[in-house]
Structure 1
């Protein structure tokens, strides 16, 4: 049986006022291509449903989206904070804590990486351009998700280095926030040229694996095959 990968979703309201839980299809496609069976996890305020999903899946992918509320890492928001989803924050923090407590493999992408860091008592830069002097571009306008935008340097002897077998790769980029202080048990595994943490990982004594990447590899897996290896590694860990 293929490993079942839970994929988080976000709240959305259309022009007629109908509410949806949605996710970019690229996440689903990337998990399919890696040999996993994707299951979407809707935002819910019922804690018992979280337990049901934890029992169902073999790993969880925390997806991108709006900003994590700064209050969760002890700060008030600056004016550059775009938007937050209080229900999603609360739900995903509970979901992460349950998944972490049950040793499930966890992958975080963009906001997902930031959410994981906050859940493990780390902090974020609320806005790269206003808080990091001489920062480079990280959130281009009018660019496709499969376009490589800037380079990153991968730290030696990390999971990411083993996955890509390279010291430097080019990635896409769609974020205005970034990890500042790393959460408990996490270490940086890649940096952009301006010093921003672009990937992190945690390998725990119980064998649990946590990976976080700041870019969007799910948008690259078709045009740039090397990024399939990231999802392949994650799905393989979920099958153990």
Structure 2
């Protein structure tokens, strides 16, 4: 397993109620966003979507396990997507539309810790960063605009990934080392939730300029685990923080973990 391209697992996005025009009434779809897979592949790694595993799907743990999947992969990328459910961090949704996806939360948290147990790196993007924080016992702001005093605009549905703001890379952080000439960087911003209380053994690596919203976190534990609120896979435009540095750092960690 030490030779050949790195094998990177991408956690699945879940669509529990597909639109009728897709032709799957009553079924759950699992999928990945094209840009994420192509971003990984463009850096020389193979991308594999990791499906959910559970007895309710007719799959017994004795047949296949999360351990089995992680054993043949070199690293995990947690994709963006639906809100993390407040019930996962022991709160109630303050609005029905913020209920999130509890099924996906449980699947990704189990996957995350199995990668950690096997000493393999984890990279969280947007929702993935929030999931890392919650998996480590932290909490989230359920809506930045409504609950963070003085917050800037972190989501604009009309602009989507063309909506940008600046982040400060904190002194002494790994991010600062990756971007030695960019103490402040410009990133896209597509999220309405964010880290509130920081999880155990996590440190902050970047803050939103102007309102101090946490934009990047890193685990101080036994293996590599990093999350950022922006989507570095969308950073192809001039003037934005180069997303390639973040992915290459993650892939380097995966290569080291191979031994």
**Residues 201-240 of structure 1: CA distance to partner in whole angstroms, max 9, x if unpaired?**
1233x4x111100011111147658211111111111111
* 1:196 has 2:213 as partner: yes
Q: Secondary structure at the match of 1:239?
A: helix
SS of the equivalent of 1:90 reads: helix
Q: After alignment, is 28-37 or 169-178 more displaced?
A: 28-37
Q: Deviations over 1:24-82 (max 9, x none)?
A: 11111111122211111122325543112111111100111111111221211101743
Moved over 2 A (4+): 46-49, 80-83, 221-225
The answer as to whether partners of 2:86 and 2:100 remain within 8 angstroms in 1 is no
Q: Tell me the secondary structure at the aligned position of residue 104 of structure 1.
A: coil
* Cα distance change of structure 1 residues 81 and 185 upon mapping to structure 2, 3 Å threshold: farther
Shift of 1:144: 4.8
Deviations 1:75-115 (Å, cap 9, x if unpaired)?
A: 11101743422221111111112112222111000110111
Partner residue, 1:159: 174
Give 2:119's match in structure 1, choosing from 103, 111, 120: 103
Could you tell me which residue of structure 1 aligns to residue 36 of structure 2? 27
- Separation in structure 1 between the aligned mates of residue 48 and residue 95 of structure 2, nearest angstrom: 36
Q: Which residue of the partner structure matches residue 140 of structure 1? A: 156
Partner of 2:10: 7
Unmatched runs of 5 consecutive residues or more in structure 2: 56-60
* TM-score (ref. length: structure 2): 0.86
Equivalent residues of 2:93, 2:99 under 8 A apart: no
The one-character-per-residue Cα deviations of 1:168-223 (angstroms, maximum 9, x if unpaired) are: 0000011010001111111000000201000011233x4x1111000111111476
Q: Is the 8 A contact 2:139 2:198 kept in 1?
A: yes
Alignment match, 2:199 = 183
Instruction: Tell me which residue corresponds to 1:92.
Output: 108
What is the CA–CA distance in structure 2 between the aligned matches of 1:35 and 1:78, rounded to whole Å?
A: 43
In structure 1, stretches of 5+ residues that fail to align are none
Shift in Å, 1:4: 0.9
State the superposition RMSD in angstroms: 1.8
Residue 80 to residue 172, structure 1, CA distance change in 2 (3 Å) = farther
CA distance in 1, matches of 2:6, 2:252: 8
TM-score (norm 1): 0.92
Give the number of the structure whose alpha-carbon radius of gyration is greater.
Answer: 2
Mapped partners of 1:144, 1:69: distance in 2: 22
